Every structure is written in structure tokens, then in C-alpha cells.
Amino acid sequence: MGKKTLEIYSVELNGTKDVEQTDKQDGKERYRGLKNCFHSKKDHHTEKLKKELDLDDHKLSIEELEKKYGTNIITGLSSTQAAELLAQNGPNALTPPKETPEIIKFLKQMVGGFSILLWIGAILCWIAYGIQYSMNKSSSLDDVYLGCVLALVVILTGIFAYYQEAKSTNIMSTFNKMIPQQAFVIRDSEKKTIPAEQLVVGDIVEIKGGDRVPADIRLLSAQGCKVDNSSLTGESEPQARSSEFTHDSLLETKNIAFYSTTCLEVSTSPVGTATGMVINTGDRTIIGQIASLASGVGNEKTPIAIEIEHFVHIVAGVAVSIGILFFIIAVSLKYQVLDAIIFLIGIIVANVPEGLLATVTVTLSLTAKRMAKKNCLVKNLEAVETLGSTSIICSDKTGTLTQNRMTVAHLWFDNQIFIADTSEDHSNQVFDQSSGTWASLSKIITLCNRAEFKPGQESVPIMKRIVVGDASETALLKFSEVILGDVMEIRKRNHKVAEIPFNSTNKFQLSIHKTDDPNDKRFLMVMKGAPERILEKCSTIMVNGQEQPLDKSTAEAFHTAYMELGGLGERVLGFCHLYLPADEFPETYTFDVDAMNFPTSNLCFVGLLSMIDPPRSTVPDAVTKCRSAGIKVIMVTGDHPITAKAIAKSVGIISANSETVEDIAKRLHIAVEQVNKRDAKAAVVTGAELKDMSPEQLDELLTNYSEIVFARTSPQQKLIIVEGCQRQNAVVAVTGDGVNDSPALKKADIGIAMGIAGSDAAKNAADMVLLDDNFASIVTGVEEGRLIFDNLKKTIAYTLTKNIAELCPFLIYIIVGLPLPIGTITILFIDLGTDIIPSIALAYEKAESDIMNRKPRHKKKDRLVNEQLAIYSYLHIGLIQAVGGFVVYFTVYAQEGFKPSILINLRVEWEDSNVNDLEDSYGQQWTWYQRKYLEWTGYTAFFVGIMVQQIADLIIRKTRRNSIFQQGLFRNKVIWVGIASQIIIALILSYGLGSITALNFTMLRPQYWFVAVPYAILIWVYDEVRKLFIRLYPGSWWEKNMYY
């Protein structure tokens, strides 16, 4: 594991060494990073990958390609060829990461946790029987049964845990299969739709706008094709694709489209589709190779797994040391070795909470279910808690924090900036719409726009309608639709006579319309584009509906507004119009867009409009919650620093009153170097800066600033950041959606993939999937995770308590020689019978105080099972329970004739089956079987004693600090179900199965059920006192020692 990480890490350094400032080069460098990644893989892989990367398919001409793949671009492959190739190369799908074979998973459950101890117990049982058998052929089979029962317990709990695991994995696999992909392919000269899995190399496929590219494809014909490579490179800008060979590198040439990227648009003329030839399928695609790279990053142990291991170590340590200690004591007390072995078994069984791990599994899966309802799908059960202990969240920007769609945020007209509503439904547009300028502006917005709603969506809310067109135009279309109503109708009324679409040289878009005013025969020319370009073309400006000459002061105002909006990280567009004079341009005038036979200067400037991908409305609140919960939210994005900072500010990742070093420098008018770095709480770090940082500098950055935004980061830098955070002993959650994120997702303590935008590779690498892509869901997850940690503490405390009550009888039995107060089987009935449902019920307990106002737990200091918990459970409540149990036991024996005084050192005679006239305190004589029956009654009594006190224990465990009465005794109904189950199971065992001798239960006299009640009350009162002192003297010695 360590080695692999190192490899990737070193690649990071190389890969990002030369990230350049400009967009384009930046992208290239990312590619280089990727390439380096490939080279760094293991040797045999490297060979293979090199070969793949040296593919020259993009350089070949179509004819050469046809020859190479034995295909024809008109007729496609024949079905037989395709079938052959499919059989040869396998389906076109990513191989899911290597799963541990089911049998190994199963066996792991069988030997994990306490199972080893129980196996030892079982084997000791059989050994004991073997010894007995060798001495006496007719020895009883009790030990064999006990051994079998122990083995059965291990196997059953193992099967149970395995089943639970399998169930939660299944949720994921069904989820994966929800999205079958189709591909449009030409085979046997026919166009067919087939599942994308069946594509083979050489297939000719057609892609429409909006399709996912079904394999690595060499484009053969494509007009105005744009692909979204963000899942591969993290670039959010659409990339143009054409059929020309533009670059030597396969990764950079324009005529290759990659598997699993999305084709955003293909120009409608002449065919509306792009055609390409499949050159790589499945795992041999570029994305497939990255995905397999991610599987090289090993999974770290989850915090809860570490905690449970720690706990198992504690309990096993106690069990083994007490076991060995008493083995020695027993031997030195002249017990036979055989007896000593049997004692050892008893001690192990009493010490091991057999049912606990199953309970923990159930508890976790209950929470997982609850979280799934709140849109957090948990793949790995243990991840449920990890989110709760998260101290740093590295969040992606696009889609997670933001709505992932451009939206109009600000308008500037009449020398004023207006704020538009950017919430999810746009419902609340409050800016002043009475001005004449707005009327003109709205007309330009509506008309100078090529985006259209897909038909047939009248019933869909405007914001959810699907639009054909690019992001900004979509934003404008929706904006105007919300404010003005039916845009298409307006456009119809203002018939478009000519149009120049946006292109990167013009940087403007223009269209000419007939007006809807029948009296006005003039044409209206509307134009939008880059603000400075638009302003250049204008000589007047509209203020309050009146055209005014554009003087210096208005130009100044324009620039101020432009800078301000740009400073918010928004994309700004300028709008202007011109009514063409009717005399020059009569109704019959034909406009020629190529000859530009119309004026494009001296226009009238109307306004500015800025757009941003706005934060989701729930995010600021969620970030605040994270912050109060002591979780540091770091934004890691590929976007521009200004945009990133603006979004970070608007969602609160950079809080309103904190400044970056640059901000301070600007405010104080000093150089950046002169600023005391300690004054700045926030930092915006670009990928370029990051690549120059040593790990120590990164550590310093991460510790010194509480609010950090990483912008312009290459996807691989995410991994560096995650590792940096982990060096701070933080539990790191990473959100991501692209394939490129998958190594970081895997490296993180908890990887969170986006359910909607996320790629399959990301989902595979992640531990959790956010079904609604919403950051706020993470917060609910954190809350659930913290709650489950607290509740697990309670469950464990509850479960550990009775271990002492089960253990003490054995110790006393060995030392004092009383008849055995409680049998091994009976103990198993407590651990796996009466105690199971109550301990699960604790998982339903509500939080005592606002858990979201607490700091996240320290990975190494705040243990699940700490000293206080163990001591309080074992030495306080546990001992009271043991005492209570003994009182019931002594009561039963005394009332039957054996007073405690006579019981001492009675063990040998008591257990001798040949002694059939053993005298009790009254001189009565007992046969062996009568004694045995009394002993079982004692077991039952002790069992009932523990059970009654466990009810009290259950109630006190509801809270750790608050009084039960503050928490509400009846708020958690499941607790009462648990108590009822305890009582019912005990009643069934005693009265229902009391006649089955093998179970060692007898029908207990009703009054014995109440002997332990005073002790139950004592437990409750004692714990209330403890909590009272904790509340009265916070921070005192008492709290330090008594609060677990």
C-alpha cells in the first residue's frame, strides 16, 4: 500500500510541476500529469499502457483506419465480425475493481473480532472432553455440546455479519445497474441501437448532443461538436471536437472523443450527429486505465473499524489476562488442569460480548438506511461513522456547492446594479422592472438568444426544463421566461430576419428582428457580447429609457460596474440595440450576414448582465453548520480563483469578515510580502502555487488558515491536498464526481461521490454516494455519523456492564468454591438473547445535546471505548450488577436449604455425581440430580437478576450527561420494545423452556424475579448522581473520571 501511494505521490509532483497559467496549457499539463501517472504504474502495466498511448489511430486516414480495424465506415462491421471481436476482447465495460472473493469475506467474518477467542473456547471444550474421555470412557458430553454451541455462535454471528455486509453492497450494485447505456451503431449497413456494452473495436457509432461517448472514438465526421471532458480532466469548459488531426498526442488531438465523457452538442446541420469509429473499449480506454489506477490506492481502515479493533483488543486483553491469571490461580489451588481449562472457557465466554459485533453491524446498517432516506447512500457500512468524525471536508465546487448551471445573478442598467434571484426556482425577482431601460434590455435578452426549450415541457417547472443551447444562453432564456412569460411567443412576434451567432473572433452575437409594434416599421438590431467589445460599438447609452450620449462619466460607471461584477467571479455580458432607420432599411431589405450590410457601430448601450453558477440555496446554511461543528470546509476546484473565491464567500467557506493576505494588502495598500500572514484567516491557493510547495509548506498552510480555497488545481493535486490534511491527523472527506477524482476519493477517509453528476469510477471509489449531489446532505450525514458514534458508545457500555456480572460468578466459583452461580450456556443466552434488542434500541436514541456544536472527535484521543467507559462499566455498574445477581443466587439457595456459609468450599462434593446424600444447612440430604436442578435454578435466578438490572442499565445508558428525565423516559419507544423483549425472552426461557434440561433453565418462583429490583433502582440512582455531579461540576475531577 505504502509503496503505491508513494508512486502516485511522486507522479503528482512531476505531473504538476509545470502547470501553466493559461487555460489551454493548463489543460495540456493535466494531460501530461495523467501520462506520467500511466508511466509510473507497475512495469508490466507500463509496457501495456505505453503501447496503448502510442496508438496512432488519430494520425491515420480513414482508409488506413478501415484497413486496420477491418471495417467500413459506410456499412460498419458485420454482426459476425462484431460477435467475434466481442468474444475476443470482452464487453465494453469497465471491470469493477477486484472484489475480495466472497468466501474470503466470509472467512474473515469467521475469524475477525472475538471469533478467535470463541474458537479457542470451543477448541478448549473439545480438548477438555478429550482428556475426560481418555480418563473415563463414559464421561458426559456436556463439554462437547458447549464447544459446538460456541462454534455455532461464531458461525452464526459470522453469517449474520456477512449477510449484513452483502446486503449493503447489494444496494450499491443495483444502483450501478440503474443506468444502462445505449449506443447507436452501424452494423451490416444498418443503423441499430445496441447496449453500449456490446460495442467492439471498429464499430461505427453515431453520437448526438447530450449522449455519453460509449467508447474511445476516433471521430470521422463532426460539425460543431463539443465534449465535456470534465470527468477525465476536471476542465469544466467544453472542448471542441472535429475530425481533423490536430496534435501528435492522442490525449490532445481533437479527433478523439473519450469513453464516458459527454458530448454536449453537435451542430444540427447537416446531419445532427457525429460519426466515429470505436478504437478502444472497456478497460483499454483511457478512462478505464485511470479507473484501474484508482484501484491501486488502497483503502484505509475506517475510523470506526480502528475503534472497534481497539475495543476488541481491550476486551480480549481483559479476557485473556483474567483467564490466564485464574488458570494459574486454579492450578495453584490444586485444581486439576482439566478443571482449570473449563474455568478458562467460562471466563472467556463470560468476558466476550458475543452479540456485540452483530449489534454494531445492525446499528450501523440502521443508520445507513436512515441516511439513504436522506440521500446519502452508504456503500461501506463503516463509513456511516466516518462522516461523523470528519474534521475536514474537501469539497468540489461545481455541482456540489453550486447548482451546476449558469444563472443570471446581477444586472446593471440605469447606472445601478440590481441583484437577481439565484435560488433554485428563481421565483423571487425583486429588482425594479418599471424602468424603460429594462423593457429594452429584456427585449434584447429575449431576442438575441438562440437557446430553445425542448418541446413538450409545458408542465415542467421552468428551471427544470431541458434547453438546447449553451450554458449562458440557457441562463438567459430561463431568466427571461421567468420574468416575461412565454419567450417563444415573443420571439415569434418579433420575427428574426438575420442572425450572426457568437464566435470567438467577434465575441458578440447579433440578430435583427421585425418589431411586434405594427406601427413601427423599423427593424430592431439586438446585440450581446463581451462588455468591452459591446461598449466599443456604442455611442449612446440608455438611462431611464432615454438615450443619452455616452460620455466619459457613464463610461467610467460602466467600467466600475464591469469590474465589480467581474470581481464577483461572474461572467459578464453587455447588451445593446439599435433601431435601424426605416428609410434606409425598408421592410423588404435583405440582410446579408456575410457582407454585413447593416451598421454595427454607434449603437445604444442598454445594460450589463452577469451570470454565475450560483451556490445551492442550502449550502451556506450547511457550511455554517459544518463550521459550528468544527469541520473545516476546503474548496478544491479547477475553476478560476476569482470565481472560486466569490462562491466560497457566498457560501461561507470564506466567512464575511475574514480576509486573505491579498485582501489585507489591498486594504492597507502595502505589498503582499509585508502582510503579517497570521492576520489572514483565509487563503486562496492556486494549483500553480501549490505545485511549488513542499509538503511542509502545505502542512503549514493547512494548519495556519482556517478557510482555504484551492483553485485551478489539477485533479491529481487533490490527492496531495488530501494527504496533506491526513498528515494533520484529520479525518478527511472528499467529494468528487469525475474519474480523475477517484484516486483522491479512495485516498480520503471517506470518499463521497455525486449520484447524479458522478461517474461510475468515482462512485466505485467512493464510500458514499450523495443521491442528490447536495452538499447539505453531507451535513445530515455528519450528524448521523456523530450520533451513531455516541450511541455505539452507549451500546458498548451497556453490553460491557453485564460482562462483570457474568465473570464474577466464575471467579468466586474458583476461589470460594461455591456451586457455579451461572452456566456458560446461560451467559450465552444473555449475550445473544435478552441483550440484543435493547442494545440495538440504543441506536435509536436521540442526541443529548446539539452534536453539531461540538468539535469533531480527535482520531487518537476520543476513543469509542475509553478508560472511563471501561472502568465505569466494569468496576461500578458491573459490580453492582454482580452483587445484585449474587443476592438473587444466595436467596434461591438459602430458601431451598443451602445457606451461604455452607456453600463455601462445597464445590467438589456438590459436583460429585456419586454423592447422593449431601447435607444442606437443615440436615436434609440431596441427591446429585436434585442439586443439579437447584444449580440450574440458581443459573436462572442469576440470569433473571442480571436481566432485571440490565433493564436499569439500559435506561441509564440513554444519556451520558443529562438526566434521564431531561432526555425523556418515553421518547425512545424502541427502548421499551427492548425492555419488553428482555422480559419476554426471559419468561419464555424460564417458563417455556424450563423443562428442557439441556438449556439449564428452570421454572423460577415468581418472587425471585423481584429480588434484584432494589439493585436495579440502586443502579439508576447511582448513575443519576453521577450525571448530576458531571453537570454541576463541568471540567472537574469527577467529570474527567466519570464521564465516558
Partner 1 sequence: MRRQLRSRRAPASPYGYRYRLDDQDEVNQNYLADEEEEAEEEARVMVVPDLEEEEEEEEEEEEEEEEEEIEEEEKEEEKGQGQPTGNAWWQKWQIVNEYLWDPEKRMSLARTGLILVIYFFFYASLAAVITLCMYTLFLTISPYMPPFTERVKPPGVMIRPFAHSLNFNFNVSEPDTWQHYVISLNGFLQGYNDSLQEEMNVDCPPGQYFIQDGDEDEDKKACQFKRSFLKNCSGLEDPTFGYSTGQPCILLKMNRIVGFRPELGDPVKVSCKVQRGDENDIRSINYYPESASFDLRYYPYYGKLTHVNYTSPLVAMHFTDVVKNQAVPVQCQLKGKGIINDVINDRFVGRVIFTLNIET
- List residues near partner 1 by CB under 8 A: 630, 632, 703, 706, 728, 855, 858, 875-876, 879-880, 883, 886-887, 890-891, 894-897, 899-900, 912, 914, 916-917, 919-930, 933-934, 937, 997, 1005, 1014, 1018, 1034-1037, 1040-1041
Angle between helices 142-176 and 102-111 (to 10 degrees): 140
Pick between residue 632 and residue 691 the one whose CB is nearest to partner 1: 632
**Cis previous bond, 270, omega within 30:** yes
Cell of 88: 475476443
The Cα 610–Cα 407 span in angstroms is 8
Specify the length of the chain in residues.
Answer: 1044
Query: Across the beta sheet with 392-395, what order do the strands follow?
Result: 376-378, 768-770, 750-754, 732-736, 392-395, 632-636, 707-711, 682-686
Q: Is 74 exposed, middle or buried (0-12, 13-18, 19+ CB in 10 A)?
A: exposed
Q: Is 396 a catalytic residue?
A: yes
Indicate left, alpha or beta for 408 from its phi (over 0: left) and psi (-120 to 50: alpha).
beta
The Cα 194–Cα 197 span in angstroms is 8
C-beta of residue 288 within 8 angstroms of C-beta of residue 282 = yes
Rounded to a whole number of angstroms, the CA Rg of the chain reads 37
Pick between residue 464 and residue 1005 the one whose CB is nearest to partner 1: 1005
Pick between residue 212 and residue 632 the one whose CB is nearest to partner 1: 632
Strands 732-736 and 392-395: parallel
Pick between residue 136 and residue 519 the one whose CB is nearest to partner 1: 136
Closest distance to partner 1 from the beta carbon of 1028 (Å): 16
Pick between residue 97 and residue 897 the one whose CB is nearest to partner 1: 897
Dihedral sign (CA 759, 762, 768, 773): negative
Strands 508-514 and 496-500: antiparallel
The Cα 767–Cα 747 span in angstroms is 11
Q: Is 884 exposed, middle or buried (0-12, 13-18, 19+ CB in 10 A)?
A: buried
Closest distance to partner 1 from the beta carbon of 380 (Å): 28
Closest distance to partner 1 from the beta carbon of 22 (Å): 35
Strands 571-580 and 523-529: antiparallel
Dihedral sign (CA 454, 456, 462, 464): negative
The Cα 383–Cα 733 span in angstroms is 10
User: Per the residue annotation, which of 26, 57, 142, 396 is the catalytic one?
Assistant: 396
Pick between residue 603 and residue 631 the one whose CB is nearest to partner 1: 631
Residue type, 775: F
Pick between residue 151 and residue 888 the one whose CB is nearest to partner 1: 888
Q: Is 290 exposed, middle or buried (0-12, 13-18, 19+ CB in 10 A)?
A: buried
Closest distance to partner 1 from the beta carbon of 925 (Å): 4
Closest distance to partner 1 from the beta carbon of 867 (Å): 12
Pick between residue 984 and residue 1021 the one whose CB is nearest to partner 1: 1021
Closest distance to partner 1 from the beta carbon of 907 (Å): 16
C-beta of residue 106 within 8 angstroms of C-beta of residue 112 = no
Pick between residue 165 and residue 896 the one whose CB is nearest to partner 1: 896
Closest distance to partner 1 from the beta carbon of 1029 (Å): 12
C-beta of residue 319 within 8 angstroms of C-beta of residue 747 = no
CA distances from 452 to 336, 466, 759, 836, 945 (A): 91, 9, 28, 60, 76
Pick between residue 736 and residue 885 the one whose CB is nearest to partner 1: 885
Planar angle of CA 577, 578, 580, nearest 5 degrees: 150
Helix, strand or coil for residue 394? Answer: strand
The Cα 992–Cα 393 span in angstroms is 54
Closest distance to partner 1 from the beta carbon of 284 (Å): 41
The Cα 723–Cα 735 span in angstroms is 15
Pick between residue 106 and residue 886 the one whose CB is nearest to partner 1: 886
Closest distance to partner 1 from the beta carbon of 337 (Å): 21
Pick between residue 831 and residue 896 the one whose CB is nearest to partner 1: 896
Closest distance to partner 1 from the beta carbon of 475 (Å): 38
Q: Phi, psi at residue 37, to the nearest 5°? A: -55, -45
Q: Is 2 exposed, middle or buried (0-12, 13-18, 19+ CB in 10 A)?
A: exposed
Pick between residue 463 and residue 871 the one whose CB is nearest to partner 1: 871
Query: Across the beta sheet with 216-221, what order do the strands follow?
Result: 190-195, 182-187, 204-207, 274-280, 216-221, 256-257
Closest distance to partner 1 from the beta carbon of 1037 (Å): 7
Alpha-helix residue ranges (DSSP H) falling in 398-546? 436-447, 471-484, 487-493, 531-536
| Kind plus residue range of the DSSP H or E element containing 418 | strand 416-419
Those residues with Cβ within 8 angstroms of residue 595's Cβ, 6 or more apart along the chain or in another chain: none
Closest distance to partner 1 from the beta carbon of 308 (Å): 22
Closest distance to partner 1 from the beta carbon of 886 (Å): 7
Q: How far is CA 157 from the centre of its chain?
A: 28
List residues with catalytic annotation: 396
